Chains A and B, each alone.
Chain A
């Protein structure tokens, strides 16, 4: 196990280095001089020279990378051109919203997708399965922003159960009750992913239920519910767990859209605004953090896979 973790972590670090080179190069790959792009046409030569120096662009390219990467390792992602504050601070301001949104979304995905997928598989071919599978197909096919707009229309504008936009921090007035601001966005974000997990759980359950060892379990005379949970679900989850890494990647891109629809002050919205403001250091910083998160989550998925399936070799 120790060697396995070491091996996987090594691979993750190598990926991170490769990704950091690409993220760094991004500023040089954009056509034109990045400083002019950022400052616009009306920039004075003094402003250009100042920004060039602040971004370290007067150093050789290789040296620039090592300075940037070295600073990043120490938690310094540079200065935001627009806000003139550290990038880490800009990101941190959106982090609470985004992290809570992601967590609540995962609760919906796991709490709805897996049990309902099991239910559909156990009732395969009955009306409840057909109804749920149809619903899953619908949710997986419609875009997140569309779901979001309809949720606002029904539950915010129509019924008035939840607020339609914004999010005051849970550390401000209102405390945990401010989480109600995240209910509709998280539902919109969860819908296509929960549908995916539902369909994957159902398909995987049906696959496993045809395995010989499930017949062996039935032959023992144990209760059908125990056969489902201990023998079918346990093995079916192997496929579902490995899908979580991809679900996370999907969440990141969909979160950008969702945060925009619901006007949430999250990292996704920060990225969109930074792109519009050509605030390259912020964009680079956010992408680097997303890559790190993605690698960590996939590392955890790999490790949990090893715990769930004893056949996965240590090497």
Chain B
């Protein structure tokens, strides 16, 4: 399910399947492309496989979990199943990641400067690490960079730590940055600053960004394109404006219905009835069928084909909401 692109994708994920112990699929056949300078928002409820998709792309899946099918291409090079250090050894390590919890993502006993320089030495052997580290702290707008390099993580605020994480990611000179809920743990004002920084770095460095979140508001504000994930698979992708204006998949529409509407008189937030299936409960048909208001018999039988619209949206649904989508 890929949208129309004019440039070649920098990151291309094809039919990715991730499974626990080789059997229980937690990501089922996910495909997407990201172009340089583009932010793809990957949206879904917790447990839908967003983080596992990103960890697979980063080569950081936990021990018992592995990629059982599909390919991940970075700038055309296959990096599937390679750990980050193997990618560096093969010269295809230009991908970096920032994580949800800035408070625990930095080593508490090492100085900020050491942690950044460690990444610089691996990815940028020709520069002077201390100089480059200062440059990176300036890039992520950390004031008084020279002084902060000798600080320990616990001496910095959450927002500052997330900026340090971004600096570490940038030290890898990434052509793709994966951001897994990077602002969820931050205050709203700090959140906005960090999002602004990511957008700016994406533009100036021409990086592709995979931005993972469960927050539709953040996606609307930041992303160029959106991919909606449900129970391990993508249900809808499209450019951010048309997708938000007219969601095609009942699940996407349901998610948006859950956003508080300031014009509504109804004091209760809408919810989607039921809950997402566990990975071992998903069968052949549409995984959303048990909760879907438009469900029919056909939804429970066999794989659901992808339909494309002329606005560039793609949806995996037999009965998309605006009826115009063609197979």
Contacts and interface: CB of A to CB of B under 8 A. Distances in A.
A308 interface: yes
Contact of A213 (B88, B105, B169): B105
Nearest to A216: B105
A64 B85 CA distance: 70
B251 interface: no
Nearest to B152: A310
A221 interface: yes
Given A218-B84, A221-B88, A221-B119, A235 B172 contact: no
Interface stretch (B95-103, B136-144, B229-237): B95-103
18 contacts: A212-B99, A212-B105, A215-B99, A216-B165, A218-B84, A219-B58, A219-B60, A220-B119, A220-B171, A220-B172, A221-B93, A221-B172, A222-B118, A230-B110, A238-B109, A310-B108, A310-B154, A311-B108
B93 A311 contact: no
B177 to A, nearest CB: 11
A217 interface: yes
A234 interface: yes
A60 interface: no
A213 B85 contact: no
B107 A213 contact: yes
Interface size of B as a range: 20 to 34
A218 B59 CA distance: 9
Contact of A216 (B83, B106, B123, B152): B106
B122 interface: yes
Contacts of A234: 107, 109-110
Interface string A278-315: 00000000000000000000000000000011110000
Contact of B122 (A211, A221, A230): A221
Contacts of A311: 108-109, 152, 154
Which of B58, B108, B122, B165 lies at the interface centre, i.e. has the most chain A CB atoms within 10 A of its CB?
A: B108
Nearest to B123: A221
B184 to A, nearest CB: 13
B19 to A, nearest CB: 19
A3 interface: no
Contacts of A230: 110, 118
A216 B172 contact: no
A222 B122 contact: yes
Contacts of A223: 85
A234 B169 CA distance: 23
B198 to A, nearest CB: 17
A213 B106 contact: yes
Contacts of A308: 109
A213 B168 contact: no
Interface string B163-178: 0010011011000000
Given A212-B101, A311-B154, A221 B84 contact: yes
B122 A215 contact: no
B104 interface: yes
Nearest to A310: B152
A308 to B, nearest CB: 7
Given A221-B172, A222-B85, 8 more contacts: A212-B99, A219-B60, A219-B84, A219-B169, A230-B110, A231-B110, A235-B109, A311-B154
Contact of B108 (A213, A219, A220, A224): A213
Contacts of A224: 83, 85
Given A221-B85, A222-B118, A311-B154, A216 B107 contact: yes
Contacts of B83: 218, 224
B87 interface: yes
A231 B153 CA distance: 14
Contacts of B106: 213, 216
Contacts of A235: 107-109
Contacts of B107: 213, 216-217, 231, 234-235
Given A220-B172, A235-B109, A213 B104 contact: yes
Contacts of A221: 84-85, 87-88, 93, 119, 122-123, 172
A215 B60 contact: yes
A81 to B, nearest CB: 52
Given A221-B85, A221-B87, A222-B122, A216 B109 contact: no
A310 B153 CA distance: 9
A219 B154 CA distance: 21
A219 B86 CA distance: 11
Contacts of A211: 104
Contacts of A219: 58, 60, 84, 96-97, 169
Contacts of A216: 99, 105-107, 115, 165, 168
